[in-house]
Structure 1
Amino acid sequence: MDTPHLAEVTDDNLGDACRLTVAPHQRDYVAPVAESLAQAYVQPGVAWPRLVYAGDQLVGFVMGAFDPTCPIDYFQHGIWRLNIAAEHQGKGYGRFAVESVLAEARRRGAQAATVLWKPGEHSPEPFYLKLGFHPTGQVHEGEVVGRRQLWT
Structure 2
Amino acid sequence: MSTLRLEELNAKYIIAANALSLKPGQAQYIAPVSYSAAVSVVNPDTAWQRVVVDDETDEVVGFIHGSFDPHADRDEFSAALWRIHVDARGQGRGIGRFAVEALADEARTRGFGALYVIYEPGEDGPGPFFEHVGFMTVGETPYGESVGRMSL
TM-score range, shorter chain: over 0.9
Judge conservation of contact 1:3–1:54 (CA < 8 Å) in 2.
Answer: yes
**One-letter code aligned to 1:146:** G
In structure 1, what is the equivalent of residue 25 of structure 2? Answer: 25
Give the distance between the partners of 1:140 and 1:110, measured in 2 at CA.
25
Judge conservation of contact 1:78–1:102 (CA < 8 Å) in 2.
Answer: no
In structure 2, what is the equivalent of residue 149 of structure 1? Answer: 151
Give the distance between the partners of 1:96 and 1:125, measured in 2 at CA.
17
In structure 1, what is the equivalent of residue 129 of structure 2? Answer: 127
Secondary structure, counterpart of 1:13 in structure 2: helix
In structure 2, what is the equivalent of residue 48 of structure 1? Answer: 48
Equivalenced residue count is 150
1:88-137 CA-partner distances (Å, limit 9, x unpaired): 11110000000010000000000111011111111111111111211112
1:140 shift after superposition:
5.0
Give the distance between the partners of 2:51 and 2:16, measured in 1 at CA.
10
TM-score (norm 1): 0.93
Which 5+ residue runs of structure 2 have no aligned equivalent?
none
Judge conservation of contact 1:105–1:113 (CA < 8 Å) in 2.
Answer: yes
Judge conservation of contact 1:61–1:82 (CA < 8 Å) in 2.
Answer: yes
In structure 2, what is the equivalent of residue 4 of structure 1? Answer: 4
Secondary structure, counterpart of 1:25 in structure 2: coil
TM-score (norm 2): 0.93
1:18-77 CA-partner distances (Å, limit 9, x unpaired): 222322411111211111111222111111010001111110100111011010110000
RMSD, aligned α-carbons: 1.3
Secondary structure, counterpart of 1:70 in structure 2: coil
When structure 1 is superposed on structure 2, of 130-139 and 45-54 the one drifting more is 130-139
When structure 1 is superposed on structure 2, of 133-142 and 72-81 the one drifting more is 133-142
In structure 2, what is the equivalent of residue 90 of structure 1? Answer: 92
